[in-house]
Structure 1
Amino acid sequence: MLLRVIVILLGWTALVASDRVYVHPFYLLTYNQSTCDELKKVDAETTKEQTLTPVPIQAKTSPLDEVALKDQLVSYAQTLDAEDKKRSTSVGMLLNLVGFRMYKMLREKATPANGAILLSPVGLFGTLASFYLGSEDPTATKLQAFMGAPEKDQRCTSRLDGQKVLSALKAVQGLLLAQEKKGSSSLLLTTVVGLFTSPNLHLKQSFVQGLAPFASITYSRSLDLTTNPDLAGEKIDRFIKAVTGWPKNTQLTGISLDTTLLFTTYMHFQGAIKGISQLAKPQVFWVNNTTRTSVPMLSGMGIFLYWNDTKNNFSVTQVPFNENAFLLLIKPHNDNLEKIENIAFGQDFSHWMKNLSPRKIHLTLPKLVQESTYDMQSLLSNTKLPGLLGDEAKLSKISDTNLKVGKVMNTVLFELKESQGGQEDLFQSSEVAPLEVKLDSPFLFAVYEKKSRAFYFLSHVTNPLNGV
């Protein structure tokens, strides 16, 4: 595994160097000496840190305004300086490594009947970084290594600065939206963190406030988690659905009786491609060689970046949401999806991305509403650090009292819609026939941002009408 990580890092460095910008993987994200000196002074003092008790879950809460939260990210992205952007690239590299690794784990666990996968490397990495912010050694050291930035030595300056990491994640999310008009809803990215605690648990203010860069909004709410865990899960689901308005279908179940904290991350993406409209009638989608279904389809024509890998039998079409954000559509030309996934979502991704070139394309693809939910503790059980967020985790920077993390959930809601402006024919006078690209059988997709080089979503679509 270590060798594979080194190979990926070298490949990433080569990709960055090819753009005449060198970004060191770690130094922009670690403590500097002055901060280390300040931390020593704080450790030497015996001050009691301020805490807060989450309000009851039934307390009145205003509905989420995603457009306003998006506008805040757009404004923030406009303030980023050169160092902020370099830091976002460093975090982009690390979260891609975590995302590719987790994607491989999910693919190995996927059942043949439903090989669908949808995950957010940004959400997964943000969750890990949040726990890093709340941890002490040895958990902090293990989390840092798992996040792809192992310590060079025992000095403070080789440690990740959790605030820098989470601020860089805010930059990563802002860059995706940086080219969007304020007040527009054509492209949305919203991250919600929920801290659901037992009534008597006190959370440290510095931890809750420290999550602000990663999360568009953080809800800290208390409820009885132990008397009836299934009812507690229902209350949490109702709360999230009420404040967000999202069409959430998955249910929170399996809460253990000794739980005092549930950490939940919800990421919502909504994107519309300019010039792409919905076809009047549903079209055939082949779930497999013998099973087909009718699904709503989107269609349109444009100049998109494209590459056909004849050696590995797949093609890639890069479709822009804006100047920074892109949808990468990966169409296999045979049934060897596992091999294609290794190439597309692994160490070779930089190779095929450099081969993309402009083509006139008539694109047809399913309209998508996909939802997935994963328990990070369950995912980590398949690694060499199965207890990383479990009972033995040292999380005193989250709370000093009776902390028992029951679940660490990551939920993604992904929506791909038609453009509100309708379909545009930009090539009426062109004599060149467009290349037909039709995604009417299982395919892969990713959402990518070119400034940070971060993959926001990775997905294997088996049936557009089903979730994950």
Structure 2
Amino acid sequence: MKMKPTFSLCFLLAGLYAVAQCHQHPRYHNKHDNSKGTYYPGRSSHGEGIYPVKNKTFVKLVPSNADFAFSFYKLVASEATDENIFFSPISISASFAMLALGAKSATLMQILEGLAFNLKKTQEQEIHEGFCQLLHMLNRSDSELQLSLGNALFIEETLKPLQKFLDDVKSFYEAEVFSTDFNNSSGAENQINNYIEEKTNGKIVKLVENLDPLTAMVLVNYVFFKAHWEKPFSTSYTKQEDFFVDRKTSVKVDMMYRKGYYRNYFDEELSCWLVQIPYNGNAAALFILPDEGKMKQVEVVLLKRTVSKWEKFLQDRKIHLHIPKFSISGTYDVKRIVKQVGMIDLFTEQADLSGITEDEEGGRLLSSCWVIHRAMLNVHENGTEAVGVTVKEVTWRSGDFPHPPRVRFNRPFLLVILDKYTRTVLFIGKIVNPLKND
């Protein structure tokens, strides 16, 4: 007879960002996903007809999601001095907000307040409705941009999830729920890894290893984003140049080059260049280049209001732009980091998650569980799909520099990728060494 598992929750987030792959991949709508185990059917995973977008509840989430994004960055940066950083704050926010559906009392309050929500201004129901709308709007795929963000729960087969919890995670968070035999660790690992590999189009493989047979639940979050630059770089201009990691260290990188019109601004107070590079579709990347020795000064004020100020000052002007090709990834112990934003009970025996399962031990989380977030970033000219693309631009515009400045990203810089329509921070990165991948 199989032993009843202790309700220790293993929480896993897998994020992926890839620019300009060579082939379009289909979005996956098959709820069974070839994953072994029982799938719990429920209501529409897209929330269609439940909370019409015309209500725009998601707008109330925008400030809090941005605050959490930059707070999380600062916590990561404080521990990862002089290292590459890359993560998806919206995927982390969505996962913890979904977990709040099964939380009660102080645990519930800690999760939502840890996500930077003011519960006097935004009700719990509005938060879930807002995420429902937001995920629905972000999940899109067309010829210009592909963005897929979702969640899945793998629950120990001997436990009985509450139907309300199953219904809520499906209707609000587009989540899939599978019954899993964690006593068969290798089988459970294969089931979860196959799911992640499929959802990230083969880019994240074998993320789960050495699962504890006493695991009761694994939450998986994935985000896949593929877009092409609105104004692609020509491979013929890419050449090897020095990238100065610090005053003593330089590395050779493939530096892309393009002369053209970009929204840009030099912040004299913070001593940094801002260049916004748009993608085809509704997304844009804000590249932030601090002057030498000014990185920490810029990081201190990397806040929602600072980015809003920058966006107001950006002007469309011609520049000589140099940006390195790079591919990096970041892996983070989210469990340790979120405790610093106030989620102190969540991964302890004091946690109240009694809204998840009927099991008498279902409200208790043990501190032995783990939380992982992995994100990957790939930046290059635009791949083979960009070959032969020509972009014509007006030769002169009002507000142009007398002589177009040369903005050369050949030292550590920051990166914020935004969905312009929903004002959502999709990814935040810091590139210290373009040649280091993780």
Using the size of structure 2 for normalisation, the TM-score is 0.76
**CA pair 350-430 structure 1, distance change in 2 beyond 3 A:** closer
**CA pair 294-206 structure 1, distance change in 2 beyond 3 A:** farther
Alignment partner of 1:103 is 2:73: yes
The CA deviation string for residues 284-316 of structure 1, in whole angstroms up to 9 with x for no partner, is 333223333333444334321111012211011
The CA deviation string for residues 157-207 of structure 1, in whole angstroms up to 9 with x for no partner, is 944445413213325525xx5xxxx642x4222224232333322333443
The residue that corresponds to 2:18 in the other structure is none
The residue that corresponds to 2:235 in the other structure is 279
Alignment partner of 1:436 is 2:406: yes
SS in 1 for 2:386: coil
CA apart distance, 1:147: 2.5
Alignment partner of 1:366 is 2:324: yes
The residue that corresponds to 2:378 in the other structure is 415
SS in 2 for 1:201: coil
The CA deviation string for residues 243-302 of structure 1, in whole angstroms up to 9 with x for no partner, is 543322674357556421121212222222022235345523332233333334443343
The residue that corresponds to 1:245 in the other structure is 201
> Is the CA contact 1:118–1:457 (under 8 Å) kept in the aligned structure 2?
yes
**CA pair 356-428 structure 1, distance change in 2 beyond 3 A:** closer
Alignment partner of 1:168 is 2:125: no
Matched AA of 1:436:
R
Matched AA of 1:83:
N
Matched AA of 1:324:
N
> Is the CA contact 1:198–1:260 (under 8 Å) kept in the aligned structure 2?
yes
Alignment of 1:2-13 (within 5 A): none
2:47, 2:101 → 1: CA distance?
A: 25
Alignment of 1:287-306 (within 5 A): 287-306=245-264
Matched AA of 1:68:
R
Q: What RMSD over aligned residues (CA atoms) do the two structures have, in Å?
A: 3.6
Alignment partner of 1:68 is 2:33: no
CA apart distance, 1:425: 5.2
CA apart distance, 1:395: 1.5
CA apart distance, 1:235: 5.9
Matched AA of 1:283:
Q
SS in 1 for 2:215: coil
2:353, 2:262 → 1: CA distance?
A: 47
Alignment of 1:386-405 (within 5 A): 386-401=344-359, 402-403=361-362
The residue that corresponds to 2:37 in the other structure is none
Alignment partner of 1:83 is 2:39: no
Identity %: 21
More helix per residue: 1
Matched AA of 2:219:
F
CA apart distance, 1:389: 4.2
> Is the CA contact 2:47–2:171 (under 8 Å) kept in the aligned structure 1?
no
2:436, 2:349 → 1: CA distance?
A: 35
2:261, 2:192 → 1: CA distance?
A: 45
1:353, 1:373 → 2: CA distance?
A: 29
CA apart distance, 1:435: 3.0
CA apart distance, 1:98: 1.1
The residue that corresponds to 1:130 in the other structure is 98
Alignment partner of 1:424 is 2:390: yes
Alignment partner of 1:453 is 2:433: no
Matched AA of 1:104:
K
Match of 2:266 among 304, 308, 312: 308
> Is the CA contact 1:282–1:296 (under 8 Å) kept in the aligned structure 2?
yes
1:463, 1:138 → 2: CA distance?
A: 42
Alignment partner of 1:261 is 2:188: no
SS in 2 for 1:138: helix
2:271, 2:425 → 1: CA distance?
A: 23
Alignment of 1:144-155 (within 5 A): 144-152=112-120
The CA deviation string for residues 62-104 of structure 1, in whole angstroms up to 9 with x for no partner, is xxx954369x99998xx965432xx222211111111111111
1:73, 1:316 → 2: CA distance?
A: 38
> Is the CA contact 2:327–2:379 (under 8 Å) kept in the aligned structure 1?
yes
**CA pair 278-462 structure 1, distance change in 2 beyond 3 A:** farther
Matched AA of 1:121:
P
The residue that corresponds to 2:9 in the other structure is none
CA apart distance, 1:322: 4.0
CA apart distance, 1:392: 2.2
CA apart distance, 1:221: 4.8
1:250, 1:371 → 2: CA distance?
A: 15
> Is the CA contact 1:266–1:412 (under 8 Å) kept in the aligned structure 2?
no
1:380, 1:322 → 2: CA distance?
A: 34
The residue that corresponds to 1:41 in the other structure is none
